[in-house]
Structure 1
Amino acid sequence: MEITKTELAESMAVHQVIVNDIIQDEMALTPELASKLAIALGTTPDFWLKFHNIVVDLEEDNFNFGEALLDGIKEIIAIEKGELNPSRATDIKTLEEGFIRKALCDKHGVVDAVMTIRDVPLREHPSIIVEGALISVCPECGETLSVPHQEQPKFAEAYKKARN
């Protein structure tokens, strides 16, 4: 599955130059752009901002945010169209309870987050609970930091219920 910069720019309602600058790491991903990206791809702004911040904080010399962004977009589109099972995505590690990974906590910065299974309320709709979700949790404060790709269908279904 491929998406062009022009298609992404159109779905985000921004000029293609902006998409190109983000992909080339010449422009920071702002909250406004993360919101547009989330709307265009059916994700959340937090997903993109936390991902971008982790990359910046870890200062991985050979990591290209733009390439990772495009790879993530391709997989999201393929999963949405039913062309790819999230648990079978080749570039995404299937995570399990107890796995430790780097994540960004608003209170504690980059932490070694622990993958945990919990019932999680949707932030925008706290009365809707995603049961048995695998999430990364800050070891310092217990805050939910991220949801691995393999759990996105559970959350997408919950958001659909919230809209109805």
Structure 2
Amino acid sequence: MRARANALRGAGLLLALVAGAGGGQAHAQAPASALEAVPLQGLSFGELIPGVPETVRVSDAARRAEILLAGQGSWDVLMVLPDALTSAAGARIPLRFSGRDGAVMPSPSAPLLPFDPLSMGRVRISGGPSPARLLLGGTALPAGDQAAGSYTATVVVIINNPGT
């Protein structure tokens, strides 16, 4: 069992950003009315054991997905979540997300604010000295006879200025 668990290392989600009309820009200087969104880290389930679900909570700073949000104003955010991690050989590990798997951290010292990653939500950014962060957790559900290998998936995050 240990050898197979080691072979499932590296299972995780990558982040991709899509800016809506007049919306944010990834890795770019943004005008005063825009939002700069920068993926900091993907969701990492780490080493998985076949048949044992693995949950990453939004409070787990080492494994949760994080997107830095710099700017100010209100922004509509939609996450397009995958239903499975996939290996290069086509093997799949199902994923499960709930309405409690997302959060916004307005600043490093502020408490986490719930954000439902299953539906579009509005995020308010104050434009303070520290950028806000959008966070995502989730659960991987490997089968008991899960094929060994590296598994990945992509989360698409769509950010739009509701005033455009």
TM-score normalized by structure 2?
0.26
Q: Decide which structure has greater helix share.
A: 1
Larger radius of gyration: 2
More strand by share: 2
